[in-house]
Chain A
C-alpha cells in the first residue's frame, strides 16, 4: 500500500491541539489562557446584552457597602454604594468590546492600504505617506484623544475611531518593512511572469500568505491597547460616565476607598482589566511565534 503523503499544513493555529509538541508547552499554555479569557469575555458580552445578570447593576443596597467577595449572594462583593460588582463587571464589557473591534478594523484596513500604497506607488507619494506616519507618531495617543475630546466632545465610538487612526502608522510601518523584503524575492517575479493579475498577487501572494501573521498579531495587540486606552480614559473621567459602569471608572470610584484599606472594590475591576489585556497581548505574541515558525 503506497504511503499517502499529506501536504504540509500551513495553518497551524487551526490544528493547534494536535501540534502541542511542535508549538511548545509555553506557547500552547498562552494560547489556551488567552482563548479561555476571550471566550469568557464574549459570553459575558451576550449575558449583558440580554440583561441576564444576577443583580440589577444600578440597584443601591446600603446594607452591603464595600463588602468583600463572597458575602451572601454577592460573588465579587459590592462597591461604595452597595452595587453588585459582578453584575457591573459584566455590564462593563459592553462599554469597550464592540467599540474596540471598530478600532481594530480601522487600524488594520487603513494600515494595510497605507503599507501597500507606500511600496507600490511613486516615490513622492511614499515620502508624503511616511511624513504623515511620522507626524502621527510624534503625537502621544492620550494627548491626541484629549484634544479630540475637548474640541468635539465625542461618544465612545468616535474615541475608538481616533484610537484606530492613531494605530495606523505602526501597522503600516510593519507591513512596509515586510513587503520591502518580499518584493525582491523570486516568487513574485515568477507570479508576474505567469500572468497573474497584480490584484491577486498583492492580495493572495503577499498579503494573505506572507503578511497575515503580522495582521493577526497586530489586531490582537491593538485590541488590547484599545481596551487599556478606554479604561485609562474612563479612569481619568473622560470616557463612560458614572452611573453606567465601565471597568476604568469602577477602578476610579473604588480607589478613593483603597487608601482606607477597602481593597476589593477597585482591585477586582483592575484584575479584570489585567486578565483581558494580558490575554490579548499573549494571543498576539503566540500568533506571531506559532505561525512564523511554520515558515
Chain B
C-alpha cells in the first residue's frame, strides 16, 4: 500500500521542476533565436529562413511571429536541413549525440572507483603520501592544456608501446578504443580530481555531524547513516554540474580523436557557417544538459523527500 501523503509533495516538486525546465528551455531558445535575428548583414538570417521548410513562406519580419512558428516547428522535430549536405538536422544531431553522451557518461563513471579509493585511503591515515602524490600529479595534469596532453598520450601509447588504436571506427566501438579518450576527458579536464577531492571533504564534513556521533554512541554501523548524505548526494550534485563543462571539453577531445560526436558536428558547422545545423546542435546540447539536471533533481527528491518542500 503506497502512502499518498508521502507521494504528494514529491509529485508537486517534480511538476514544479518540469515547469522550471520548460520555461528555461523557452528562454534559452528565444535567446539563441534572438542572436540569429540580430546577425549582421541580414543575409545570414535570410538564408536560414529560406533553408527552413516551414519558415520560407513567411513574409513577416516580426521577431515574435517568426520565433513562434520556428518554435512550433522545433517542438514537432523539424529543425530544418543542413546548408552543406541538405540532410535533416535532427537525424544528424541524434546520431552524433549518442557518441558524445557515451564519452561523457564513461568519463563520469570512471571517477567512481577513484572516489572509493580516495575515501578508503583517507580513513586509515589523513596524510597518506601515496594519495598526496597522486593528487599532485592529477592536479598538474588538469592544468596542462588538454589538446597537448592528448597528443602526447597518443604519441606515447601508439608509437612507443604500440598497443592502443589511434583512429576510432564508429561502427564497432570497443572499450579498448574508448579507454584513451575517456580517461583523457576525465583527467585532462580536471573533473576527476575535482569530484574525488570534493566528495572526500564532503564526507568528512558529514562524519563530524551530531547524528553520526549519536549513531556511533548507540553502536550502529556508521556507513549506513553516512553513505546517502556523505557520498551519493555530493557525487550526484558534482557530476551533474560537470556535464556542461564536459561538453565544452568534449569538442577538443573529439576533434583530436576523430570521434563522431556532437563536438565535431559543432566544430564542422561553425567552420562551414552552417547555421541550421549549428542551431540544432546547440539546442540539443542545452536540452541534454537541462535533462540531466532535471533527472538529478528528481533522484535527489526521491532519495531525500525533505527537499521537496523547499
Residues of A within 8 A of B (CB): 131-132, 134-135, 137-144, 146-153, 228, 231-232, 235-238, 251-252, 255, 258-259, 261, 266-267, 270, 273-274, 277-278, 281
Closest to B148 in A: A270
| A152–B255 CA distance with the chains assembled, in angstroms | 23
B119 CB within 8 Å of chain A = no
| A72–B252 CA distance with the chains assembled, in angstroms | 36
**Smallest CB separation, B281 vs chain A (Å):** 8
B151-188, CB < 8 A from A = 151-152, 154-155, 159
Residues of B within 8 A of A (CB): 20, 23-24, 27-28, 31-32, 35-36, 39-40, 44, 140, 143-145, 147-148, 151-152, 154-155, 159, 244-245, 247-249, 251-252, 255, 266-267, 269-271, 273-275, 278-279, 281-282, 285-286, 289-290, 293
CB pair B285 A143 closer than 8 Å: yes
Main secondary structure of the interface of B (DSSP, over half): helix
Closest to B251 in A: A142
Known contacts A131-B24, A258-B151; 16 further A-B pairs (Cβ under 8 A): A138-B24, A139-B286, A140-B245, A141-B248, A143-B286, A146-B251, A146-B266, A147-B279, A147-B282, A148-B35, A150-B273, A151-B36, A236-B251, A251-B145, A259-B155, A270-B144
Q: Kindly list chain A residues whose C-beta atoms are within 8 Å of the C-beta of B267.
A: 146, 236
Q: Kindly list chain B residues whose C-beta atoms are within 8 Å of the C-beta of A138.
A: 24, 28, 244, 286, 289-290, 293
| A232–B148 CA distance with the chains assembled, in angstroms | 10
CB pair A140 B247 closer than 8 Å: yes
CB pair A140 B252 closer than 8 Å: no
26 contacts between A and B (CB under 8 A): A131-B23, A131-B24, A131-B27, A135-B27, A137-B244, A138-B244, A138-B286, A138-B293, A139-B28, A139-B282, A139-B289, A140-B245, A140-B247, A140-B285, A141-B248, A142-B248, A142-B251, A143-B266, A147-B279, A150-B270, A151-B39, A151-B44, A228-B145, A232-B147, A270-B144, A274-B144
Q: Kindly list chain A residues whose C-beta atoms are within 8 Å of the C-beta of B244.
A: 137-141
CB pair A258 B155 closer than 8 Å: yes
| A135–B31 CA distance with the chains assembled, in angstroms | 9
| A232–B256 CA distance with the chains assembled, in angstroms | 12
In-complex Cβ contact of A232 among B44, B154, B252, B269 (8 A): B252
Q: Which of A140, A149, A228 has the most CB of B within 10 A?
A: A140
Q: Kindly list chain A residues whose C-beta atoms are within 8 Å of the C-beta of B28.
A: 135, 138-139
Q: Kindly list chain A residues whose C-beta atoms are within 8 Å of the C-beta of B289.
A: 138-140
| A238–B269 CA distance with the chains assembled, in angstroms | 12
Q: Kindly list chain B residues whose C-beta atoms are within 8 Å of the C-beta of A148.
A: 35
| A152–B273 CA distance with the chains assembled, in angstroms | 10
**Smallest CB separation, B220 vs chain A (Å):** 33
CB pair B269 A274 closer than 8 Å: no
In-complex Cβ contact of B282 among A143, A228, A251, A273 (8 A): A143
Q: Kindly list chain B residues whose C-beta atoms are within 8 Å of the C-beta of A146.
A: 251, 266-267, 269-270, 278, 282
| A278–B136 CA distance with the chains assembled, in angstroms | 12
CB pair A267 B248 closer than 8 Å: no
In-complex Cβ contact of B143 among A137, A140, A281 (8 A): A281
Closest to A231 in B: B145
Q: Kindly list chain A residues whose C-beta atoms are within 8 Å of the C-beta of B32.
A: 147
Check A277/B248 contact, CB under 8 A, given A258-B152, A259-B155.
Answer: no
Closest 6 CB pairs of A and B: A270-B148, A142-B248, A140-B247, A140-B248, A278-B143, A146-B270
CB pair B143 A143 closer than 8 Å: no
CB pair A150 B148 closer than 8 Å: no
**Smallest CB separation, B246 vs chain A (Å):** 8
Check A259/B270 contact, CB under 8 A, given A132-B27, A134-B24, A139-B244.
Answer: no
CB pair A147 B148 closer than 8 Å: no
Q: Kindly list chain A residues whose C-beta atoms are within 8 Å of the C-beta of B40.
A: 152-153
**Smallest CB separation, B176 vs chain A (Å):** 20
Q: Kindly list chain A residues whose C-beta atoms are within 8 Å of the C-beta of B27.
A: 131-132, 135
Q: Kindly list chain A residues whose C-beta atoms are within 8 Å of the C-beta of B273.
A: 150
CB pair A147 B159 closer than 8 Å: no
| A147–B281 CA distance with the chains assembled, in angstroms | 10
CB pair B275 A150 closer than 8 Å: yes
